[in-house]
């Protein structure tokens, strides 16, 4: 008989009928009650052993972590806590889990620190917390694809290995097939890249935007969703060396359309998670409430996790120009009382995380879209406004997370783009193909990048970005 997923059995109304489940033992109480989880849901199915039906040699092997097959009859549960349970007729141990060895791992049934869980990242998905996070992450990925596909966007796989480093700013990882202790040199003493696999210097992509723009100029509306890399030596709870990014790009769309798209998109995926991940969200919400109990009152969350998601859904993102934001910050209490590490004195300053948090968490108390930033603190491809000083950039700031989206209307005018590149010493030869998009039927177009893991952080309420990706890559850490 084919086995059923626990998620199906828990919803089943086929009482008194035979059922088979396969999964891992989460607990075994009183030599009678096995709780089995198979990863399909955060819940376990309770399997009940009638007294004396099973040999002690068998029941001794029903230990936490063991893989088992249970065949039996689905019945209404007599206990509280579950609607149905399985009266076990037969139990097979598929794989043992030696309790002595298990004791040394995070699978042992006691509380482990998140840091310890990270060190055993290959096992942590078997805990309730990480099972929930990774199911939510998966659903969130799908919601992203579904949103764009429903709205006639085409998915584009921009290259991971790239020859251009225009955006890299020295933060791109190198990719090579050289033996690192035998790197060939040219007669002039430089590196002889002509002998490398690709015959040129290559890096890991820091953004698929430029390639996505070329595709938007053909398919109209595209999006990327893939891994992105930064060799940035920042060991913070918000940075990864390898992360996933979503980058839509839309032809014939200006910055206002871009803001509308970003807001609509984010609200769609949050609604999807509220609709499709109720059990996992409920668990993660309770987890946060527990965690908050050990914190001082001032540091506790003001809202429950699901209320926070609903709050974002129900409110318009506040759209504020950079210039307005600077005014607010200049006149803010923390600025006047010199509480900011970087005081805001004048227009043109780059905003730090402390400023973004003030705007979002204290001043507006809702997601904020900042736009029209000073040209000099933003990238070369952003469209210059008529004032000659600002560009049509936007950042979306989220409470507790900070920047979750960065985007812009792109400079569609060939001459302006070339001037900007020249001023920044970006060689035209390197981006000849990018410039071509402005030569042949250029048009107003816009796009943004959303850091996927930051979105997962927001949705799950976790606070360290290492906890929302299966195997995090950070400075000095590429285990597994």
Interface mask toward its own copies for 77-116; x: CB under 8 A: -----------------xxxxx--xx--x-x---------
Position 272 contacts its own copies (CB under 8 A): no
Position 135 contacts its own copies (CB under 8 A): yes
Which phi and psi angles does 212 have, rounded to 5°? -60, -35
Which member of 191, 289, 304, 349 binds its own copies (CB under 8 A)?
191
Report the residue number, 183 or 424, with the smaller CB distance to its own copies. Answer: 183
Among positions 316-335, residues that touch its own copies (CB under 8 A) are none
| CB-neighbour burial class of residue 451 (10 A; exposed 0-12, middle 13-18, buried 19+) | buried
- In angstroms, the CA 408 to CA 371 distance is 9
Which member of 177, 187, 290, 294 binds its own copies (CB under 8 A)?
177
Report the residue number, 202 or 408, with the smaller CB distance to its own copies. Answer: 202
Among positions 13-32, residues that touch its own copies (CB under 8 A) are 22-25
Report the residue number, 350 or 479, with the smaller CB distance to its own copies. Answer: 479
- In angstroms, the CA 412 to CA 381 distance is 9
Beta bridge partners, 373, equal 391
Position 149 contacts its own copies (CB under 8 A): yes
Position 388 contacts its own copies (CB under 8 A): no
Interface mask toward its own copies for 234-263; x: CB under 8 A: -------xx-x------xx-----------
- In angstroms, the CA 261 to CA 223 distance is 12
Report the residue number, 121 or 320, with the smaller CB distance to its own copies. Answer: 121
Question: 358: which 2 tokens?
Answer: 């003030």
Which member of 174, 295, 339, 376 binds its own copies (CB under 8 A)?
174
Report the residue number, 190 or 296, with the smaller CB distance to its own copies. Answer: 190
Position 169 contacts its own copies (CB under 8 A): no
**Per-residue burial over 176-207, b = 16 or more CB atoms within 10 Å of its CB, e = otherwise:** eeeeeeeeeeeeeeeeebeebeeeeebbbbbb
Nearest C-alpha neighbor of 263 from the set 371, 174, 106: 371
Which member of 75, 175, 304, 328 binds its own copies (CB under 8 A)?
175
- In angstroms, the CA 286 to CA 158 distance is 39
Report the residue number, 308 or 466, with the smaller CB distance to its own copies. Answer: 466
Position 122 contacts its own copies (CB under 8 A): yes
- In angstroms, the CA 472 to CA 460 distance is 17
Q: How many residues bind its own copies (CB under 8 A)?
A: 111
Position 345 contacts its own copies (CB under 8 A): no
Report the residue number, 371 or 452, with the smaller CB distance to its own copies. Answer: 452
Contacting range for its own copies; rule: CB under 8 A; set: 128-136, 298-306, 375-383, 393-401: 128-136
Residue 308's CB: how many other CB atoms inside 10 A?
A: 21
Interface mask toward its own copies for 36-55; x: CB under 8 A: --xxx---------------
SS3 314: helix
- In angstroms, the CA 149 to CA 268 distance is 13
Position 383 contacts its own copies (CB under 8 A): no
Among positions 200-219, residues that touch its own copies (CB under 8 A) are 200, 202, 204, 211, 214-215, 217-219
Position 188 contacts its own copies (CB under 8 A): no
Position 470 contacts its own copies (CB under 8 A): yes
Asked if residues 71 and 88 have their Cβ atoms less than 8 Å apart, the reply is yes
Report the relative pairing of strands 154-155 and 202-204 from DSSP bridges.
unpaired
Tell me how far, at minimum, the Cβ of 125 lies from its own copies, in Å.
3
Sign for the CA dihedral angle at 435, 440, 445, 447 comes to negative
Asked if residues 42 and 132 have their Cβ atoms less than 8 Å apart, the reply is yes
Q: Show Cβ contacts of residue 284 under 8 Å, excluding neighbours closer than 6 positions.
A: 129, 132, 133, 136, 305, 460, 461, 462
Position 363 contacts its own copies (CB under 8 A): no
Report the residue number, 46 or 203, with the smaller CB distance to its own copies. Answer: 203
Report the residue number, 142 or 342, with the smaller CB distance to its own copies. Answer: 142
Position 220 contacts its own copies (CB under 8 A): yes
Among positions 433-462, residues that touch its own copies (CB under 8 A) are 433-434, 436-444
Radius of gyration of the chain measured on its C-alpha atoms: 27
- In angstroms, the CA 376 to CA 381 distance is 12
């Amino acid at each position: 008989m084919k086995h059923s997923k626990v998620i199906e059995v828990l919803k089943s109304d086929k009482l008194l009928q035979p059922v088979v489940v396969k999964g891992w033992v989460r607990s075994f109480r009183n030599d009678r009650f096995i709780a089995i989880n198979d990863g399909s849901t955060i819940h376990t199915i309770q399997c009940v052993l009638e007294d004396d039906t099973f040999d002690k040699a068998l029941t001794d092997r029903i230990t936490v972590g063991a893989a088992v097959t249970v065949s039996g009859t689905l019945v209404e549960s007599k206990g509280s806590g579950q609607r149905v349970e399985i009266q076990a007729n037969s139990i097979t141990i598929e794989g043992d889990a030696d309790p002595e060895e298990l004791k040394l791992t995070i699978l042992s049934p006691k509380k482990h620190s998140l840091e310890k869980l990270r060190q055993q990242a290959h096992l942590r998905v078997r805990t309730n917390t990480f099972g929930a996070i990774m199911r939510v992450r998966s659903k969130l990925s799908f919601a992203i694809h579904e949103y764009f596909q429903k709205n006639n966007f085409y998915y584009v796989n921009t290259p991971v290995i790239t020859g251009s480093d225009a955006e890299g700013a020295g933060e791109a990882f190198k990719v090579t097939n050289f033996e690192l202790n035998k790197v060939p040199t040219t007669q002039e003493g430089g590196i002889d890249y002509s002998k490398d696999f690709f015959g040129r210097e290559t890096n890991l992509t820091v953004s698929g935007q430029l390639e996505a723009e070329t595709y938007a100029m053909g398919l109209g509306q595209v999006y990327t969703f893939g891994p992105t890399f930064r060799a940035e030596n920042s060991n913070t709870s918000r940075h990864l060396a390898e992360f996933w990014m979503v980058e839509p790009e839309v032809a014939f769309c200006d910055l206002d359309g871009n803001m509308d798209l970003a807001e609509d998109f984010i609200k769609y995926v949050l609604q999807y998670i509220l609709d499709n991940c109720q059990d996992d969200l409920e668990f993660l919400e309770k987890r946060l409430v527990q965690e908050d109990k050990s914190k001082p009152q001032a540091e506790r969350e003001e809202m429950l996790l699901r209320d926070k998601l609903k709050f974002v859904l129900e409110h318009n993102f506040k759209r504020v120009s950079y210039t307005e934001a600077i005014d607010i910050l200049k006149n803010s209490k923390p600025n006047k009382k010199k509480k900011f590490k970087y005081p805001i004195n004048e227009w043109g300053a780059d905003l730090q995380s402390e400023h973004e948090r003030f705007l979002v968490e204290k001043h507006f108390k809702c997601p904020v879209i900042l736009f029209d930033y000073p040209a000099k603190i933003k990238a070369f491809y952003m469209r210059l406004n008529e004032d000659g000083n600002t560009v049509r950039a936007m950042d979306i700031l989220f409470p507790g997370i900070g920047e979750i989206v960065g985007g812009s209307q792109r400079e569609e005018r060939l001459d302006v783009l070339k001037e900007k590149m020249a001023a920044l010493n970006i060689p035209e030869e390197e981006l000849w193909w990018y410039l071509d998009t402005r030569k042949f039927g250029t048009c107003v177009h816009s796009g943004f990048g959303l850091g996927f893991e930051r979105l997962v952080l927001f949705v799950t309420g976790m606070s360290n970005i290492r906890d929302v990706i299966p195997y995090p890559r950070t400075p000095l850490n590429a285990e597994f």
